[in-house]
């Protein structure tokens, strides 16, 4: 569910407010990274974020991008989508959704619950509850 009611693209003042909401200090580099990421709902690797931020004329290091994206994921600003050990995407779309990953093209797209027919949730041990579900459908050309 889009609890933040994000309207893309986020303006700089909205980015600062969002980071403060998540109790993240809005440093110049964090704001620049978030501004790039929240231009639209998208799935980006840390390398693509680095390329985009530096391509826009901002000075930021690779380590800063990786550390910032780790912080953003841990605080719930973005969703970290793990495809495998070498492919991680950061998702700026806060709506509840799943993903479709095309192994041929490397493209990650959103799949909404209305498009999926899940029969039921698994039977859980007593005393636990589901807090999140990440489903990635991996597809290839026939």
Q: What is the pTM of this model?
A: 0.88
Measured CA to CA, the distance from residue 101 to residue 92 in angstroms comes to 16
For residues 40 and 104, state if they share a domain.
no
In a domain, 2, yes or no: no
Residue 1 forms part of a structural domain = no
- The confidence score (pLDDT) of residue 2 equals 44
Q: Report residue 121 as tokens.
A: 């949730």
Judge whether 120 lies within some domain. yes
Quickly count: other Cβ atoms within 10 Å of residue 48's Cβ. 16
pLDDT digits (tens, 9 = 90+) for 6-22: 899 999 999 999 999 99
**Are residues 74 and 47 located together in one domain of the fold?**
yes
Q: What local confidence, expressed as pLDDT, does residue 119 receive? A: 65
Claim to verify: residue 134 and residue 118 sit in the same structural domain: yes
18, 87: one domain: yes
Query: Number of folded domains in the chain?
Result: 2
**22 and 83 both lie in a single domain:** yes
Task: Answer whether 77's CB lies under 8 Å from 18's CB.
Answer: yes
Q: Are residues 54 and 108 in the same domain?
A: no
Residues 115, 81 share a domain: no
Q: Which residues of the chain have pLDDT under 50?
A: 1-2
For residue 104, the enclosing domain spans: 98-139
């Amino acid at each position: 569910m889009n609890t933040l009611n994000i309207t893309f693209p986020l303006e700089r003042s909205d980015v600062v407010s969002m980071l403060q909401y998540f109790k993240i200090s809005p440093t110049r580099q964090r704001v620049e990274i978030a501004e790039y990421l929240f231009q639209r709902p998208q799935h980006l690797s840390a390398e693509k974020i680095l390329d985009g931020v530096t391509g826009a004329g901002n000075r930021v290091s690779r380590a800063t991008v990786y550390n910032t994206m780790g912080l953003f994921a841990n605080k719930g600003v973005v969703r970290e989508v793990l495809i495998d050990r070498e492919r991680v995407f950061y998702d700026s779309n806060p709506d509840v959704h799943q993903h479709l990953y095309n192994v041929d093209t490397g493209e990650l797209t959103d799949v909404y619950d209305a498009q999926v027919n899940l029969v039921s949730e698994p039977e859980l041990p007593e005393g636990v509850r589901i807090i999140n579900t990440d489903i990635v459908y991996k597809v290839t050309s026939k």
